[in-house]
Amino acid sequence: GQQLNQSPQSMFIQEGEDVSMNCTSSSIFNTWLWYKQDPGEGPVLLIALYKAGELTSNGRLTAQFGITRKDSFLNISASIPSDVGIYFCAGPRGTGNQFYFGTGTSLTVIP
């Protein structure tokens, strides 16, 4: 079945550093979603991408829909302690409204 591979699995960075993570799929997607999950909470949608090459920002977060349509990237600039959490990518499965979710990138920000 479809697998979404997220990289890296975990990151430990100093406050103020920039962060980059990516997600790759084995098939072409027409949508990429990025979520953040705080410990013990539900995922919160950060950015939705609908077009190959699209670059979308949400505050310090920027996500890109890869040209090949098989990958997506999330960047966080000038990280702060509240950026801590798990970041998930998601892509559509089939023609319905279901999504595949990646296994997540765990981000730790050291003050």
Partner 1 sequence: DGGITQSPKYLFRKEGQNVTLSCEQNLNHDAMYWYRQDPGQGLRLIYYSQIVNDFQKGDIAEGYSVSREKKESFPLTVTSAQKNPTAFYLCASSRTSLLNNEQFFGPGTRLTVL
Q: Which of residues 20 and 101 has its CB atom nearest to partner 1 in the complex?
A: 101
Q: Which amino acid is at 104?
A: G
What are the structure tokens assigned to 85, written together? Answer: 């959490």
Q: According to the binding rule CB under 8 A, does residue 33 interact with partner 1?
A: yes
Query: Count of CB atoms within 10 A of residue 99's CB?
Result: 18
Asked if 105 and 11 count as a contact pair (C-beta separation under 8 A), the reply is yes
Q: According to the binding rule CB under 8 A, does residue 66 interact with partner 1?
A: no
The span from the first CA to the last CA of the chain, in angstroms, equals 40
Q: According to the binding rule CB under 8 A, does residue 97 interact with partner 1?
A: yes
Q: According to the binding rule CB under 8 A, does residue 14 interact with partner 1?
A: no
Residues that bind partner 1 (CB under 8 A): 4, 31, 33, 35, 40-45, 48, 50, 88, 90, 96-99, 101-104
